[in-house]
Structure 1
């Protein structure tokens, strides 16, 4: 969210009167309403089976067509674990019970001209066999099982995923 290119309207009084007060704070000059553009929580699954990693191809912007870890944003009143279970069911019809938290990385997510800061939490899920998956076409174009050794960070959509992939490979080697 940037105040340089357009006038920001207050969500309370609807006037073009929001003034940037800090890195993430905006205040209405007319009614005093304060808006905090805080970090959004997101979750990602690093799913592995027999030396292969499950990745999805993004069907939407940002980074449409690039590879990503399955996952998404955390909804109100959800834990990270609940959000990841919901997202995996929504995107791939993949039920999961066991996951292990690995690490988190900050990320930037440009959506419809608004730059969101996210904190992406990564969880490892290890499967004994590859499941039959059904792709939810709205968010994901397709899924791929790729050899961990053949994947490069440049193929991944976001900086947080690139960092997570690098750290994950370092841990397993």
Structure 2
């Protein structure tokens, strides 16, 4: 069973008052007037391209999407720029160092974590790295990688629909979709 995050707020996080309208956006406490908008959180995805114009796909070692393919990336932390988050996530997951980026697309998404669904805005960047031959995966997050021009075999095994759409857009730009 999944639940939208706004439906989980049954009480005000500030004063503890019972909320008479769970799920209503924005959340407004009738007692203390605390307001929460449940805006989307930002996430980044890197379409890392090597010197042979192949894309780096990584296989997830944990849920959501364990055993499925994706792009290196993750959530933007408080106080980070989108570009800082992109560099940090790619470095944390692959130890690759970004040298150039180009925004490919943005996409609204939903992230289901342990049955609670949050709204997300994904920002996908085409990335070039200093040395694509030195991929070192973070084993708690990823268990395999491949450099490829993905076909249906990989696209059908993507962990997240937004990642699949970004890869499809990249393929279309290359004229290989």
SS in 1 for 2:156: helix
Name stretches of at least 5 consecutive residues in structure 2 with no aligned partner: none
Look up the match of 2:75.
73
Correspondences of 1:11-22 after superposition (within 5 Å): 11-17=13-19, 19-20=21-22, 22=24
TM normalised by structure 1 equals 0.86
> Is the 2:58–2:69 contact (alpha carbons within 8 Å) kept by the matching residues of 1?
yes
Look up the match of 1:31.
32
Q: 1:10 to 1:63 in 2, by over 3 A?
A: same
Count of aligned positions: 170
The Cα offsets for residues 5-28 of structure 1, whole Å up to 9 and x where unpaired, read as: x66222112344263474x31122
SS in 2 for 1:107: strand
Deviates more, 1:119-128 or 1:74-83: 119-128
SS in 1 for 2:96: coil
Look up the match of 1:56.
58
Look up the match of 2:95.
93
Q: 1:125 to 1:110 in 2, by over 3 A?
A: same
Name stretches of at least 5 consecutive residues in structure 1 with no aligned partner: none
> Is the 1:18–1:26 contact (alpha carbons within 8 Å) kept by the matching residues of 2?
no
Task: Quote the offset at 1:41 in angstroms.
Answer: 0.6
Whole-angstrom distance in 2 between the partners of 1:45 and 1:58 = 15
> Is the 2:97–2:130 contact (alpha carbons within 8 Å) kept by the matching residues of 1?
no
Task: Quote the offset at 1:131 in angstroms.
Answer: 2.3
Whole-angstrom distance in 1 between the partners of 2:84 and 2:9 = 37
